[in-house]
Chain A
């Protein structure tokens, strides 16, 4: 069964610094990978998704992620953090032969002024 692991339950960066949130996946078939963001007391909002069209995926709010098959990774990055980026971020995986979407444990991003 497919799964994802998010390294680091809590990441803290200064405003303007690089944001790097790590996600590694496990899947025996080509995966579809997603990053979602959750602001306090809200539902999940899609940031970006990988669907095999391109390995570097650009999303909303200046975020991007790169699919690296050799490393089974799909890390999320943003060159310069903004205070409004403070939220919880979830990596998720779905495979084409199984519509289940499985989530990582989440990474809470704190942005310091």
Chain B
């Protein structure tokens, strides 16, 4: 059971570089989202998607882009990395259902921008 898979697990970037964090799920979940986790701030929602072709902004979207071309994949793009984007990034997925709306999380990507 793969669940939610994130790659890479660790990444170091130089300021101004770009990169894509990959996220894939094999549970046929409609809803996918990206969070960043910073000490003392919990998890903050960056972007989310309710289905292929549909994305929207969360609490902290600046500096990040997303797209959803398939149900399974939801990549997060940093176009020009900044030290403030040093964080641990989590991808999550869930079914859109009123009675069973828990989210399943990947193992995270630890990103350092120098």
Contact = CB atoms under 8 A, between A and B. Distances in A.
A100 B45 contact: yes
Interface residues of B, number: 29
Given A43-B105, A46-B102, A51-B99, A101 B40 contact: no
Interface stretch (B11-19, B66-74, B75-83, B90-98): B90-98
A74 interface: no
Q: Is the interface of A mostly helix, strand, loop or mixed?
A: strand
Report which residue of B42, B99, B104, B106 has the largest number of chain A beta carbons within 10 angstroms of its beta carbon.
B42
Contacts of B40: 9, 105-106
Contact of A43 (B48, B90, B96): B90
Contact of B42 (A41, A51, A90, A94): A90
Interface of A: 6, 9, 32, 34, 36, 41-46, 49, 51, 90, 92, 94, 96, 99-106
